[in-house]
Amino acid sequence: MYKSIWLILFAIGILVLGGCNKATQEDKNIQTDDEKIKIYTTIFPLADFVEKIGGEFVQVENIVPAGSDAHSFEPTTKTMVKIADGDAFIYLGTGIEGFADAVINAVKNEDTAIVKASEGIPLIGSSDSSKDEQHEEENNEEHAGEEGDDVDPHVWLDPGRSVQLAEK
């Protein structure tokens, strides 16, 4: 008889402690996926920067699947709708993502922020990094994707330019 009383008291104690634990977790203001800033990126380095900088406040999805090539990737309609429902679309903008213009056109009338991460950053191999921004952008667009050119659009490979991308 005493064993069953102790067993009942023990079960009640567990329930009380479990209830206190639940109240404590509710008080912690834990952020759910619905409360996080939803950001879509085009290449892994951008997704990695956003995840590391945004931490628990962001939900990041890189739209180019692992093992796929950003040069030839084409997003599905479902992906476009997800981006339009998101908070931001971050793309490199050096000519690597041939699909970026289609995504931008699809979401430009939505509340999705569009961020060109390479804006104002000279491509690797640009002869003069002190050029004015307008000439830089013309140079980047003119040289992006050209074969045999000494200009490399993979700006995240340079540590200094990588820092600039992360700052944007």
For the record, the structure tokens of 160 come out as 């200094």
pLDDT, residue 58, reads 93
The domain 37-122+130-167 having CATH identifier 3.40.50.11540: the answer here is no
Per-residue pLDDT of the chain (168 residues), as tens digits, is 555 555 555 556 555 555 555 444 444 555 566 689 999 999 999 999 999 999 999 999 999 888 788 888 889 889 999 999 999 999 999 888 989 998 999 888 888 999 999 999 888 886 544 444 444 445 444 444 444 457 888 889 888 888 988 888
| Contact criterion met (CB below 8 Å) for 37 and 57 | yes
Task: Please report, for the chain, the start and end positions of each structural domain, with discontinuous segments joined by +.
Answer: 37-122+130-167
What contacts 24+ positions apart, CB below 8 Å, involve 20-24?
none
Q: Give the pairing type, strands 37-41 and 88-91.
A: parallel
CA dist., res. 120 & res. 164, Å (int): 9
Predicted model pTM:
0.67
Residue 31 has φ and ψ, to the nearest 5°, of -85, 130
CA dist., res. 118 & res. 121, Å (int): 5
- Element holding 40 (H helix, E strand): strand 37-41
pLDDT, residue 129, reads 45
